[in-house]
């Protein structure tokens, strides 16, 4: 072969090339970035044009030539070879099939070599069109046990969070855990979640500490910098949990308000308030009390509460102390299956699912009419009437009606336009959110009717599962291979891992309304209908004398 420098624009494409499918934009962007940074590493192979022409045809390297042109290169190195009998078909196929991308471990080794040669992580990221975060993630492999590295090189990689946990442990600790979880012939896959759990160490972060350097020194706390954490946050931490919590407790004692106490927490991380205490969620009054406690992350949290007014003692000899009122005490409150945050999340999930179902689910015309009637009966809809009422702002809804008119202002539409307008109106009116927009039970009925349950998202996420109580969380393990753990957070982490590729919907999020609430709503509607019928007797003239009734009907005609 002969090495030449040629203008890439003068080269002609080979119509018989093997790779006919267009590459992804990401792949082209990566190649372009590498060419701009370091040039073409492997010269394309060209052959003289057949039929006596003076040009050259690309035999291998069409993408390299194309991106060299995009990079604005005037000349590139190429290898000139004689044209084979099959016009390069076999060589082109072998080159594309035999080529294999570098596995993450080899990528890391290459990155370390570049760093040793003076490349910065930022420069490597630019050259490879990779984010610096990805470069930092690969560099975590430097702290991984060689036996684990050998397995990762086969393509079985942990996720970033698991990799961080593994890399933070010593080789001795990794070796002990690897003995328990290394792959076998019967089970070649590694449960990286189990490996990470075995190496998990509780970290207490400096950014969560209320105490200062004086207490940190007094308790012997040595902060360790997490070199792989985001640069815009304080990433210092300590594994000395006991010392950290002791310093936090001492700080709370020194800074406790006059009417305050240091409270304990339940197994679910909720604060235990004194008996009969009512928690204050708004702005506290001067007479309210304060409770300080440590949450699961070791942070100092503050809540306010008020005690009920003590009842006056009965009898002459009774005193105020006989009433049993006591500002100091701790009780455990039963946690609901789903927290308030979880209920609000469910409301958002339902609303989005209902709107998607209204936009895409098949709905017959008679059902569409029934749903419109239901929507108007929603508790989030008010209509101004002759007897008073609150005006409901229709500017947002008017756009759905405007489409039914022609240019002259007359109602003119076909059935398709009407169906679309009806669906859009329903989307704007129906809501399951836990706020003033909630349509009430009618939205639940509509959602169940049109099958909106199938549009609910995967709720097997950390955000939602953290809103479930222990019993509710353990119930969610049913029909899954996940077994409840001793610690709630371990059960939750196992469920999140299990549902990562699956689809989980909590029963409380389903649209089917509660039977008692539905019955109550139907009863209230029937009662209102009866009252209105009685009011309409006089309006129809039925209870007037014969002459008056006849006059009423004539006026109506």
SS (HEC) of 123-157: HHHHHHCCCHHHHHHHHHHHHCCHHHHHHHCCCCC
The pLDDT value recorded for residue 302 is 92
Encode 278-287: b = buried (16+ Cβ within 10 Å), e = exposed: eeeeeeeeee
Mean per-residue pLDDT for 524-532?
62
Would you state the structure tokens that stand for residue 264, as one six-digit string? 């304990």
Instruction: Tell me: pLDDT of 416 over 90.
Output: no
Mean per-residue pLDDT for 344-365?
87
Q: Are 429 and 436 in contact (CB under 8 A)?
A: no
Separation between Cα atoms, residue 256 and residue 270, nearest integer Å: 19
Other CB atoms within 10 Å distance of the CB of residue 186: 5
Of 65-79, 112-126, 293-307, minimum mean pLDDT range: 112-126
Place of tokens 């975060």: 133
What share of the chain in percent tops pLDDT 70?
79
Q: How many residues does the chain have?
A: 557
Q: Are 356 and 455 in contact (CB under 8 A)?
A: yes
**Comparing 82 with 400, which gets the higher pLDDT?**
82
The pLDDT value recorded for residue 331 is 41
Most confident among 36-40, 62-66, 232-236, 325-329 (mean pLDDT): 62-66
Of 228-242, 243-257, 319-333, 479-493, minimum mean pLDDT range: 319-333
**Comparing 247 with 309, which gets the higher pLDDT?**
247
Task: Give 255-260 contacts, CB < 8 A, sequence gap 24+.
Answer: 255/210, 255/292, 256/290, 256/292, 257/290, 259/288, 259/289, 259/290, 259/327, 260/289, 260/290, 260/291, 260/292
Place of tokens 């756009």: 399
Supply angle C-alpha 263, 266, 270, rounded to 5.
75
Of 11-25, 358-372, 375-389, minimum mean pLDDT range: 375-389
Would you state the structure tokens that stand for residue 3, as one six-digit string? 């090495």
Q: How confident is the model at residue 330 (pLDDT cuts 50, 70, 90)?
A: very low
Instruction: Tell me: pLDDT of 99 over 80.
Output: no
Separation between Cα atoms, residue 525 and residue 521, nearest integer Å: 6
Instruction: Tell me: pLDDT of 274 over 70.
Output: yes
Other CB atoms within 10 Å distance of the CB of residue 18: 17
The pLDDT value recorded for residue 390 is 35
Closest CA to 512 of 437, 432, 458, 457: 432
The pLDDT value recorded for residue 212 is 92
The pLDDT value recorded for residue 14 is 78
Q: Which neighbouring-strand residues pair with 306?
A: 278
Separation between Cα atoms, residue 145 and residue 72, nearest integer Å: 44
């Amino acid at each position: 072969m002969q090495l030449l420098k040629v203008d890439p624009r003068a080269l002609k494409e080979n119509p018989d090339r093997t790779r006919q499918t267009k590459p992804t934009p990401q792949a082209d962007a990566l190649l372009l970035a590498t060419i701009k940074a370091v040039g073409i590493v492997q010269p394309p192979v060209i052959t003289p044009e057949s039929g006596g022409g003076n040009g050259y045809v690309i035999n291998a390297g069409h993408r390299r030539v194309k991106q060299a042109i995009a990079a604005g290169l005037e000349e590139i190195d190429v290898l000139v070879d004689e044209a084979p009998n099959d016009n390069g078909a076999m060589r082109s196929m072998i080159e594309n099939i035999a080529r294999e991308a570098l596995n993450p471990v080899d990528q890391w080794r290459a990155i370390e070599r570049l760093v040793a040669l003076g490349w910065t992580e930022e420069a490597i990221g630019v050259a490879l069109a990779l984010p610096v975060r990805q470069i930092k993630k690969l560099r975590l492999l430097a702290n991984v046990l060689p036996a684990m590295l050998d397995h990762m090189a086969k393509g079985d990689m942990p996720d970033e969070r698991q990799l961080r946990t593994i890399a933070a442990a010593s080789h001795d600790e990794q070796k002990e855990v690897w003995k328990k979880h290394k792959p076998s012939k019967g089970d070649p896959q590694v449960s990286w979640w189990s490996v990470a759990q075995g190496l998990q160490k509780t970290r207490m972060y400096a950014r969560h500490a209320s105490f200062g350097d004086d207490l940190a020194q007094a308790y012997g706390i040595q902060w360790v910098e997490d070199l792989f954490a985001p640069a815009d946050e304080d990433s210092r931490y300590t594994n000395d949990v006991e010392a950290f919590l002791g310093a936090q407790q001492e700080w709370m004692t020194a800074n406790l308000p006059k009417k305050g106490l240091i409270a304990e927490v339940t197994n679910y991380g909720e604060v235990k308030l004194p008996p009969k205490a009512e928690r204050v969620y708004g702005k506290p009054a001067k007479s309210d009390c304060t409770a300080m406690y440590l949450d699961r992350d070791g942070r100092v949290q503050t809540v306010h509460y008020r005690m009920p007014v003590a009842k006056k003692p009965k009898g002459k000899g009774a005193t105020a102390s006989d009433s049993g009122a006591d500002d100091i005490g701790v009780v455990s409150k039963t946690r609901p299956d789903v927290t308030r945050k979880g209920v609000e999340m469910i409301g958002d999930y339902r609303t989005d699912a209902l709107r998607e179902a209204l936009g895409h689910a098949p709905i017959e015309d008679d059902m569409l009419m029934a749903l419109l009637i239901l929507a108007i009966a929603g508790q989030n809809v008010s209509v101004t009437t002759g007897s008073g009422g609150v005006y409901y702002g229709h500017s947002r809804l008017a756009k759905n009606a405007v489409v039914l008119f022609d240019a002259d202002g007359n109602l003119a539409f076909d059935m398709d336009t009407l169906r679309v307008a009806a669906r859009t109106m329903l989307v704007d009116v129906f809501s399951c959110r836990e706020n003033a927009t909630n349509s009430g039970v009618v939205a639940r009925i509509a959602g169940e009717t049109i099958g909106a349950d199938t549009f609910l998202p995967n709720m097997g996420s950390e955000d939602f599962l953290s809103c479930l109580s222990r019993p509710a969380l353990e119930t969610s393990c049913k029909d899954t291979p996940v077994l409840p753990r001793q610690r709630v957070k371990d059960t939750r982490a196992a469920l999140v891992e299990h549902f990562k590729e699956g689809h989980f919907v909590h029963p409380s999020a389903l649209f089917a309304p509660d039977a008692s609430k539905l019955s109550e709503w139907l009863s209230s509607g029937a009662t209102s209908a009866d009252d209105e019928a009685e009011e309409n007797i006089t309006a129809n003239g039925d209870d007037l004398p014969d002459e008056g009734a006849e006059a009423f009907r004539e006026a109506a005609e």
